[in-house]
Structure 1
Amino acid sequence: MRLLRPLGDEVSVWMDAPVPQVWDLVSDVTRIGEFSPETFEARWTRGATGPAVGARFKGHVKRNGVGPTYWTLCTVTACEPERVFEFSVGSDSMSVNNWGYRLEPRDGGTLVTEYFRLEPSLPVRAYWLLLGPLRGRTNRAGMRTTLERMKAVVER
């Protein structure tokens, strides 16, 4: 019997659009406000102008879509054009969460998987043990909303 829930989850949506078109959307953090129910804007920082490993951006978040509202620092941790775009969320000294997108060509379109993975530190594990089921549902719903909104844009 497994006592701890996995520290993450994922949602996949098939989009009737070519991989390069979907890549341009998921890797452009300045457009996240069009799609995410929580992050309503983002901008590249510290000299970054686009997706690359090590590039930094700030996301403006309204937690659970209602608040509190805050800025969070993000660092691109994986950037394989037309395959994977991932970033960590946290400070310069500590990452708390990782978010990403995997793209797979499938059936003439693209299967897009959005995922999150929490860092396995003791405080994060305690948080997930107490609030994981609720936050996990919120994150799954948010990922589905984000992907469905992206799908509507790329399938126009």
Structure 2
Amino acid sequence: MSRPLGGEVSVRVEAPVDRVWALVSDVTRIGEFSPETFEARWTRGSTGPAVGATFKGHVKRNGVGPTYWSGCRVTRCEPERVFEFAVGTDTVSVTHWGYRLEPEGTGTRVTEYYRLEPSLPLRLYWLVLGRLRGRTNERGMRTTLERMKTVLEEEQ
């Protein structure tokens, strides 16, 4: 049985879903939280989360380098439920990243996830380096979510 081409991490945040949504869908704030993406900005006239909106993320791979800009396009935008974007070019998506939100009592369960496109080159990459990269991604997602949690809970 093959392993999925991706992973996810969930954290419960003691904040209402509308506040969590406002944070996870504001790509310009990702640099405050992510260990790899240290800044992002909306592009091509996009100003906020909507399907088709575009932005660029400035990434320092593994937190040490190389450093590069990644083009992104919002692929799912369901306010207070799902925010997802594809990373790649206008014609080729490599990875999808996203956040799922679920109200949970007085707080919100937020899940950050990623999945690689199931193309042959990415399947081969995942076969060889998937376990290592998957662990790195999961550590990064946990760090991102814990930092978001701290900010959201301090703002209460």
TM-score (norm 1): 0.98
Cα offsets for 1:24-82 (capped at 9, x unmatched): 00000000000000000000000000000000000000000000000000000000000
1:35 aligned partner, one-letter code = F
What secondary structure sits across from 1:100 in the alignment? strand
Aligned to 1:69: 67
Q: Does 1:86 align with 2:108?
A: no
Amino acid at match of 1:84: V
Residue identity matched to 2:113: Y
Tell me which amino acid in the other structure corresponds to 1:97. T
Partners in 2 of 1:92 and 1:84 — Cα distance?
A: 22
Q: Which runs of 5+ in 1 are unaligned?
A: none
The one-letter code of the counterpart of 1:133 is R
Select which of 130, 133, 136 maps to 2:134.
Answer: 136
- State the TM-score, normalized to the length of structure 2: 0.98
Match of 2:18 among 14, 17, 20: 20
1:52 corresponds to 2:46: no
Q: In the alignment, which of 37, 41, 44 is matched to residue 43 of structure 1?
A: 41
Displacement, 1:84? 0.3
Structure 1 segment 118-133 matched on structure 2, within 5 A: 118-133=116-131
Query: Partners of 2:20 and 2:10 in 1: how far apart?
Result: 13
Q: CA RMSD in A?
A: 0.4
* Number of corresponding residues: 154
Give me the whole-angstrom Cα distance separating, in 1, the residues matched to 2:78 and 2:129.
Answer: 33
Aligned partner of residue 30 in structure 2, secondary structure: helix
Which 4+ stretches in 1 moved above 4 angstroms?
none
- Separation in 2, partners of 1:73, 1:67: 17
Match of residue 94 from structure 2: 96
What is the DSSP-based 3-state SS (H/G/I as helix, E as strand, rest coil) of the residue aligned with 1:77?
strand
Match of 2:112 in 1: 114
Structure 2: 5+ residue runs without aligned partners? none
Secondary structure of the 2:68 match is strand
Structure 2 counterpart of 1:80, which letter? E
Q: How much has 1:93 moved relative to structure 2?
A: 1.2
Q: Report sequence identity in percent.
A: 77
Amino acid in the other structure paired with 2:122? V
Q: CA deviation at 1:6?
A: 0.6
